[in-house]
Amino acid sequence: MAEREINVGVIGYGLGGRVFHAPFVNAVSGLRLAAIMQRKGDEAAKAYPSVRIARSVEDLLDDKSIELVVVSTPNATHFELATQALEAGKNVVIDKPFAASSEQALQLGQLAASKGLLVVPFHNRRWDGDFLTVKKLIAEGVLGRLVTFESHFDRFRPIPREGTWKEAENPANGMLFDLGPHLVDQVLGLFGAPDAITASVRSDRDQTAIEDAFDITLHYPGTNGKGMLAHCSASYLACDNAPRFLLHGTCGSFRKYGLDPQEPALVGGAKVPAMDSKEVWLEENSARWGVLTVAPYPADPATLVIREEKTEPGDYRGFYANVRDAILGKAPLAVTPQDGYRVIRLLELARESSTKSCTLPVRL
């Protein structure tokens, strides 16, 4: 149990605040969902009748009891609102993207450090069950020396949605800064910074104001001249989705389809149990487990062992439990401002690589 309760205020109650933040803050012992800023509507009040509803950012930030603020608003507003919260003496979690530019990301980290506060990128996909499964397999070395790593996050939306900021022309909007942070952060978490980057960032739909597709290849040197390529791809024109993860190594392969079930479960009305309860939050149905194929005898490559690999349980509560412990001085941050900066810088380099049609060196 936590030593004391930390009051949390969530700014924004769209999909992010409603699905990814409020339910998990509310479920973590030691955190208290104290306020939600929703400018209009009563959805937050109905979902959390005991939580104070603020109608402005200033109203929420004026509450001196709130120690942690979650920024879950349109991408282009993240830097300004996070700065405002830090200046008000609050620790801050920022939904992805951490900032609209690497310069903004650096400024946020510096401001937080100067005030003795935390500013944390919400890279929740490190707590996806499929990613945790991949991480375990790599750590166990069952694939041998990894040669290629593929990560896809595809959707099918051939006609832009009307009336949403996500489809509005802005460098902070679009797929690169929407899904790119998830994919790039996972690769950095597994393998660290690459040596180089090659990318194609596109607007593939017939009508679109945003970047709606990308392919990013991160080059890793490996050892003895035997490197590895990590591919990150996303598209709004993927009617038949690619594998979520596909890994090839010298001893075998792993293939996994489908996304982590936490988001669709919450959209469908599931409730997140308290973290200190014995109730299991969510386990993936066995029909969606990945397939591990290994060659136990490399000299006999036709002899293969194929088995389903149980998906590790994903749990976004772990992100907020770590933030709680970091505020209390009991643990280091699992996701740091430097992580947020590195992700945004790589996305900027991806744009530059695409524009110049070339491979660029990476220095983070």
Task: Write the pLDDT tens digit of every residue in 64-103.
Answer: 999 999 999 999 999 999 999 999 999 999 999 999 999 9
Q: Write the pLDDT tens digit of every residue in 290-321.
A: 999 999 888 888 899 999 999 999 999 999 99
For the entire predicted model, the pTM comes to 0.94
Do 6-124+318-335 and 126-314+347-356 share a fold? no
Q: Which of 113-127, 128-142, 269-283, 334-348 has the lowest mean pLDDT?
A: 269-283
267: left (phi over 0), alpha (psi -120 to 50) or beta: alpha
Model confidence pLDDT, tens digit, residues 13-43: 999 999 999 999 999 999 999 999 999 999 9
What is the mean pLDDT of the segment spanning 349-362? 98
Q: What is the per-residue pLDDT across 254-295, written as a single tens digit (0 to 9) for each?
A: 999 999 999 999 999 899 999 988 888 899 999 999 999 999
- Specify burial of residue 336 (Cβ count, 10 A radius: 0-12, 13-18, 19+): middle
* Domain spans of the chain, in order of start: 6-124+318-335, 126-314+347-356
Mean pLDDT of 47-60: 96
How large is the average pLDDT for residues 336-342? 98
pLDDT tens sequence across 181-216: 999 999 999 999 999 999 999 999 999 999 999 999
pLDDT of residue 277: 86
What secondary structure letter does DSSP report for 310?
P
Q: Is the pLDDT of residue 2 over 60?
A: no
What's the pLDDT score for residue 278? 82
Q: Which fold has domain 126-314+347-356?
A: Dihydrodipicolinate Reductase; domain 2 (3.30.360)
Residue 225's CB is within 10 A of a number of other CB atoms, namely 6
pLDDT of residue 242: 93
pLDDT at 1: 47
Given a cut of 60, is residue 348 above it in pLDDT?
Answer: yes
Give me the pLDDT at residue 48, please: 96
Helices (H) and strands (E) in the chain, counts: 12, 15
Mean pLDDT, to the nearest integer, of 237-249?
95
Domain 6-124+318-335: which CATH number of 3.40.50.720, 2.60.60.20, 3.30.420.40, 3.30.479.30: 3.40.50.720
Which residue from 224, 217, 131, 216 is spatially nearest to 175, judged by alpha carbons? 216
353's enclosing H/E stretch is helix 337-356
Please, what is the average pLDDT of the chain?
A: 95
- Crossing angle of helices 337-356 and 102-115, in 10° steps, is 170
User: Taking 50 as the threshold, does the pLDDT of residue 360 lie above it?
Assistant: yes
